[in-house]
Amino acid sequence: MTAVEPTEPEVLVRREGTLGHLILNRPRAMNALTHRMMMTIGRQLTDWETDDAVHAVLLTGAGERGLCAGGDIVAIYRDTVAGGTGTSTFWADEYPVNLQIARYPKPFIAMMDGVVLGGGMGVSAHASIRIVTERTKVGMPETAIGFVPDVGGTYLFGRSPGELGTHLALTAGTATGADAIRLGLADRYLASEKVPALVRALGEMTAGSDLQSTLDSFTEAPPAAPLLASQSWIDACYSADTAEQIVANLQQSPEADARATADVILAKSPTAVKVTLESLRRARKLPNLEAVLEQEFRVSIHSLKRPDFREGIRAMVIDKDRTPQWSPPELADVSDAEVASHFDDLGADELRLTALAHPHSN
């Protein structure tokens, strides 16, 4: 008989000096998040919060491709095809962890090197210290799979300068590390070759170490943010109240990049595009992250019941034919009533975050 090799945990938990170190450990899946991973992160953060020997927490990703490519959408697809409830349960536990990270009383350092998409933003872009590199690609690609930005994505994008966040959300585009800093999604810039040395230095810190000085010795001023060069036409085109008018503005723009962007949006799920725009506009008016996450949970559960989410995952990830058949297929076919229905209360299934202090203490 051949011995079965032990399976490594999906999240590696380490103590290095005064540092608590969490390593997302699914490198073959670009560290895509599972329910079990989120529960592990939440429980460990709760334990370290009251551990006086832990002065800061670091989040990194295993492998060479990046921190995290988002939630495990293959698992979501299988759950929806089977008519299960695993996805809604996952989200109900995931969003409180996103909030827990945002509220964390100790320094939470997120190493946002490489790919940081969707759920990956939820575990990093709410951190108190967010470090990006020249390899960083950060974004919320949900409209490409018939879904809507969640995990606080509409909170982050809704508060980005001008309409840059709206542009990234509707196009499912990505931003560079330098862009992320200018958009308010990150704080510090680091050459990727220095990441291992910084991680070692953080692990060698003692009770008398100065975290900010340690970070200062490695990080540097970011280069120019390429997205900012397009802000003028982005702000002008995306200031409209409807997705149809935004597309029309882009199509009529003298800027070639703007006209090309119209085609990008028209290839996305019309329902997802319209609901995403409405989510962003509403998020800007909500008072805090808790309220936005509660809104996103409602929208996510309603989106789960629509055909485009399953079809988007099928086309982009399962069959990989990249020819999703959206229903309905045109922006004009998505009614205002259909968009509004995504924000309806869920009744007993409603997620309430404002009363949760330590959701993973048990």
- Say whether 71 is catalytic: yes
The pLDDT, as a whole number, for residue 133 is: 98
Compute the mean pLDDT over every residue in the chain, rounded to the nearest whole number.
94
Establish whether the linkage from the previous residue to 96 is cis, with ω within 30° of 0: no
Task: Tell me the three-class secondary structure of 151-196, residue by residue.
Answer: CCHHHHHHCCCCCHHHHHHHHCCEECHHHHHHCCCCCEECCHHHHH
Cβ count near 267 (within 10 Å): 15
Q: Is residue 357 part of a domain?
A: no
* Segment 185-207, tens digit of pLDDT: 999 999 999 999 999 999 999 98
**Enclosing H/E stretch for 131:** strand 129-132
Q: Is residue 160 part of a domain?
A: yes
317 burial (CB, 10 Å; 0-12 / 13-18 / 19+) is middle
Q: Is residue 356 part of a domain?
A: no
Q: Is residue 331 part of a domain?
A: yes
Q: Is residue 167 part of a domain?
A: yes
CA distance 71 to 94: 10
Q: Is residue 101 part of a domain?
A: yes
The pLDDT, as a whole number, for residue 74 is: 92
CA distance 299 to 263: 25
Task: Find the catalytic residue in 66, 119, 122, 173.
Answer: 119
* Segment 210-237, tens digit of pLDDT: 999 999 999 999 999 999 999 999 999 9
The pLDDT, as a whole number, for residue 354 is: 64
Residue 21: HSE in the Cβ half-sphere, 13 Å Cα cutoff: 21
Task: Find the catalytic residue in 20, 61, 66, 71.
Answer: 71
| Total number of residues shown for the chain | 362
Task: Find the catalytic residue in 142, 163, 308, 311.
Answer: 142
- Say whether 119 is catalytic: yes
* Segment 257-287, tens digit of pLDDT: 999 999 999 999 999 999 999 999 999 999 9
Are 140 and 118 in contact by the 8 Å Cβ rule? The answer is yes
* Segment 138-160, tens digit of pLDDT: 999 999 999 999 999 999 999 99
- Say whether 42 is catalytic: no
Instruction: Read off the amino acid at residue 209.
Output: S
Per-state percent for the chain, helix, strand, coil, to nearest 5: 50, 10, 40
The range of the structural domain enclosing residue 216 comes to: 11-346
Q: For residue 19, give the CATH number of its domain.
A: 3.90.226.10
What global pTM score does this model have? Answer: 0.94
Are 295 and 282 in contact by the 8 Å Cβ rule? The answer is yes
pLDDT band of 22, cuts 50, 70, 90: very high
Instruction: Read off the amino acid at residue 256.
Output: A
- Say whether 296 is catalytic: no
Instruction: Read off the amino acid at residue 283.
Output: A
Residue 213: HSE in the Cβ half-sphere, 13 Å Cα cutoff: 4
Radius of gyration of the chain (CA): 20
Task: Find the catalytic residue in 150, 278, 294, 311.
Answer: 150
- Name which of 74-78, 128-132, 241-245 the model is least confident about: 74-78
Q: Is residue 240 part of a domain?
A: yes
Q: Is residue 333 part of a domain?
A: yes
β-strand pairing of 108-112 with 129-132? parallel
Are 154 and 279 in contact by the 8 Å Cβ rule? The answer is yes
Counting the structural domains of the chain, the total is 1
